[in-house]
Amino acid sequence: MAAGFAVILLLFLAYIGLNIWPIVIAGAAIGLLAVAVKFRGGANGKELFRSGAAASRSADHSSKYSFEGIGGQDRAKNELIEALDFLIKPEQIAKFGIRPIKGILLTGPPGTGKTLMAKAAANYSDAVFIGVSGSEFVEMYVGVGAGRIRSLFKEARQSAQKQKKSNAIIFIDEIDAIGGKREGGQQREYDQTLNQLLTEMDGLYEQESPRILIMAATNRKEMLDPALLRPGRFDRHIQVDMPDKKGRKQILELHAANKPLAEDVDMDKVAEETFNFSGAQLESVLNEAAIYAMREQREWIEARHLSYAIDKVMMGEKTDRETNEEERKRVALHELGHAIVAESLRPQSVSQVSLSPRGQALGYVRHQPQHDRYLYTLPYLEEQIMISLGGAVAEEMFYGHRSTGSQGDFDQALQIVETMVNSGLTNLGIVKIKHVSLEALSKEMNEILDQLITRTRELLEAHRSTFTSSLDILIQDETLSGEQFRCLLCDSKQLPA
């Protein structure tokens, strides 16, 4: 009726002699805009959740994952399983009057397996799994993000009912994209999206069946709005940390199950050499090792392939940079300086010395920590600074000056000094670095670095003959293993055998 009336009105205006084209063009523009908004936002969120089939495929995909297939993270898995038991055992929680958990927040560095744990949670609880990214809700059109949140919850309920399941898990990855702290003043679009999420989690439209559990992941928990973190919203906050040595070995063994490994491969050693690697990086190590073996047309993945892979994941692929003889000698002395200081202060810690350019580095020393460490004392941090300064000091010993190759080493040393200041391990006392004047901070840093440079120079001067015995071999072979390097130190009678 409205369309017919509009047509008749336009014909009447044209009949009496008015120019109707501006009205027609304006109406067409408004109609196109309305269609575009509907298409992008979708009253039912069709572009995100294409009816129940999308949720069905997500659920089928999540069934491939289980907690047994996730290496390490035993504490996080146990805590998550305990939270899921509240979901799958409603009779017991009703008996004790326990309020059902509405949300679980997984926090931790990238690549530690937060998404895998969410999929394993859906499999463990026999729930429909719908996974989305927080960035998918960020739109410039008013109300679109909030509408998608409503559609997400509606889709979860409908999919669970269709598949005759009593539970549904909605997983929002990178939730900080929509769950950031709200500021006063002008209302922003993603504030409305967050408000809608809070409303849904409050259970204003809660149904007893199916039960919906919200899981989310972020590596920036401090950026989230306090309203999300309070009890009744995300009740459980589970930290998913970098795996320890035992966890790294488990992850390596899981990813090595379908790969042909040679007898010389020692997973304990690989786990030691991959300190502070995430699960994603460990998977990449085995994948790259398999690629190296395939390139060489080998039947087995050998230990050297894993060593190459660790270097690639840590520092990048080898580059084609060609350096002249003088630069190669300078780089060799620089890396030997790092290695000699490291092996002198921490015996058995040097795993490899190499002149092969990787990433932005013309050479490198791969260190092998004796054990995982999470607390650092003042002597340990001072030793770490001396190892970082060893390359620059070695250049000064043989050339009388430094090069730009020490820039990364100095950045690392300054970061350690900042850690010492924030930890109250300097003469400044217990302070926050942002409250210290620039002049006082620079003075303290210079004093610390000058003292440690002097100690590093004294140590390297005592090992000058080691540079002479190792330099030609390193330049010729380009790589020294930790065992070879220690033999050269012993031959120079600088370290006890």
Give the residue numbers annotated as catalytic, written as ranges: 335
From the list 309, 488, 467, 314, the residue with the least C-alpha distance to 398 is 467
Count of CA atoms in the C-beta half-sphere (13 A) of 421: 23
Note whether 388 and 416 are within 8 A (CB).
yes
Q: Beta 350-354 vs 364-367: how paired, if at all?
A: antiparallel
* CA Rg value for the chain: 31
Whether cis (ω within 30° of 0) applies to the bond prior to 210 is yes
Dist CA 425 CA 404 (whole Å): 29
| Rounded-to-5 percentages of helix, strand, coil across the chain | 60, 10, 30
Q: Is 129 helix (H, G, I), strand (E, B) or coil?
A: strand
Give CA–CA dist 208/203, Å, rounded.
Answer: 10
Calpha distance 256→71 (Å, rounded): 12
In this structure, what DSSP letter does residue 118 have? H
Token pair 């500021």 is found at: 183
Backbone angles phi, psi at 17, to 5 degrees: 100, 5
Q: Rounded to an integer, what distance in angstroms lies between the CA atom of residue 168 and that of residue 157?
A: 7
The whole-angstrom separation of Cα 453 and Cα 424 is 21
- Could you tell me which residues are beta bridge partners of residue 237? 105
Q: Which residues contact 300 (CB under 8 A, 6 or more apart)?
A: 260, 261, 262, 293
What span, in angstroms and rounded, lies between the C-alpha atoms of 20 and 27? 11
Question: At what angle are helices 407-422 and 378-399 packed, to 10 degrees?
Answer: 150
Q: How far apart are CA 247 and CA 266, in angstroms?
A: 15
CA distances from 145 to 10, 74, 178, 193, 436 (A): 37, 36, 9, 5, 43
Beta strand 128-133 pairing with 479-481: unpaired
Alpha-carbon span 277 to 372, nearest angstrom? 11
Q: Supply the DSSP symbol for 175.
A: G
